[in-house]
Homo-oligomer: A and B are copies of this chain.
Amino acid sequence: MSLKKDIQAEIIHAVETVQQTNPMAGSVTNTVTINFVANAQLAVGGSAAMVYMPDEAQFLSQAGGAAYINMGTIEPVYEKTLPGMAETLHNSAKPWVLDPVAIGIGELRTRLLLAFKSCKPSIIRGNASEIIALAGLWGLDGGTKTSNVRGVDSQDTVSAAKDGAVALARWTGGAVAVSGKQDLVTNGSVVALCHGGSHFMEKITGSGCSLGGVMAVYATAAPAFIAALTGTAVYNLAGSRAAEKTDAPASFQVHFLDELYKAKPRDIAENPFDIEEI
């Protein structure tokens, strides 16, 4: 109970700090949902900047309060851009979020994700299959040798990814968020199960990608576990509220971004979640 209240106070602090300071979190992210990522970051009070070139990624890594790497649409230049960016972020102890979208597809994506192991992303966000596959790729408990990702969709349940998520969080010393019907966020010693959201979040592209970008914004103002939890909570809150206003996905997306913008710190902190120590 006391732990939960402490966490809620930290969530409120994170949300307020972001709304007051308009922090910048730069991204290298996929072209499919890049606009949604930027608008979600702006909606919660952050600032967005997206780049592809190696030196620009270095610049943003140092200029921003945190950064976001999303593996959605790999481009040739990523071979030069991403390893240096991740190393810079790690060496300067700058928080960064990794979304291992489509892990298992393509030689370069696999090579880059392997290289990120030593750069220890502060937050890893993915669906269940992606989290299990990343734990496997990094040789950690709870992972599998072969990826069970189908394109960008998960074939596993969130609870099946719990061991992999905990192992990843213990390796990085940060947090891991598994998105699904019920979301799981862990720092390796505590597991939060978060409720809310809407089935429409799977009927639009980018709810996961943009959540990663929003977590990066909160990571400028809070420790990894709180940042991941705050992002998850505001997404569940805005998703629930948006779903009450419509019965179809495109208008859902408009309402969802509007509700991200309107969400109050206390309402975000009070969005239902359960805490379990492990």
Give the distance in Å from the alpha carbon of A38 to the alpha carbon of B109 in the complex.
Answer: 21
List the B side residues contacting A204 at CB < 8 Å.
Answer: 39, 42
Assembly of this chain: how many copies?
Answer: 3
Contacting residues, chain B, for A1 (C-beta < 8 A): none
Q: Are B38 and A35 in contact (CB under 8 A)?
A: no
Q: Mark A18-35, 1 if CB is under 8 A from B, else 0.
A: 000000101000111111
List of B residues within 8 angstroms of A256 by Cβ: 250
| A107 CB → nearest B CB, Å | 6
Q: Is A278 an interface residue (CB 8 A)?
A: no
In the complex formed, the residue of B with least CB distance to A38 is B205
Contact: A43 with B203, CB < 8 Å?
Answer: yes
Given contacts A203-B42, A249-B42, contact A109 B56 (CB under 8 A): yes
* Known A33-B35, A43-B249; 20 more pairs at CB < 8 Å: A30-B50, A32-B34, A32-B35, A32-B50, A42-B204, A42-B205, A42-B249, A43-B203, A47-B151, A49-B152, A50-B72, A52-B74, A55-B106, A55-B107, A56-B74, A56-B105, A75-B77, A76-B77, A250-B255, A251-B258
